[in-house]
Structure 1
Amino acid sequence: MPVIEIRSYRLVPGSGDRFHQLISQQSLPLMLAWGIDVLDFGPSLHDRDCYFLIRAFQDLTNLEAVQAAFYASPNWRNGPREAIVSLIASDSNVVIEMSHDRVEALRNRTITSNGQLAD
């Protein structure tokens, strides 16, 4: 059964807009190029300095393997990593099993294959 990871971030005060720019323009295209299934992401409605990222994986083993490879890769380490990590004050993750239908219901249809948001 698929699993989804819901990652939430508390950002450095005042950095929400910059964080969103980095995610949408650099991190998202990189994740998609690695085949990571990003369902949705963006700032919280209640606070621009809170942020979420929802990703889907085949199962927990796949999540662990994909993330280990991605976060160890030169693409990430020499790419947007430093700029993104420097804006994160804290983060938390929740991983849950979910049916394919429920995963698809969470999918933001505006995320294009090249990692940009459709207008």
Structure 2
Amino acid sequence: MFRRTFWFTTGVAAGVWATTKVNRKLKQLTPESLARTAGNKAIEAGQRLKDRAVDFALDVRDNMAVREAELGDALGINENPELPAPRRYAAIENRSNPKYVDRTTYSYNRNEDH
């Protein structure tokens, strides 16, 4: 009698376990779950790509600074601090320049002249 009870209980437990596993797998294969999984993997891949791009940009910037220093030493630019300052261009035109036109007196309303 105990043998039958043991095997019956074992069979019920195996059936419950198998049913649970199958139901979990079916839930993983639903379109919503597959879309969520694909989205998460795409986000992870994008993050990894972004991290690699940032690392690459930092490496390029470091190597660029090293190469710029090498070129400066080779050309003698770093040795002579009396070089003229680089030219700077004004972002806004100079009002004392004769090319400057004061546009505050002109109206931009097209219908005003008609």
Answer with 1 or 2: which has the greater Rg. 2
Normalised by the length of structure 1, the TM-score is 0.20
Which structure features the higher share of strand residues?
Answer: 1
Normalised by the length of structure 2, the TM-score is 0.20
Higher RCO (C-alpha 8 Å, min separation 6): 1
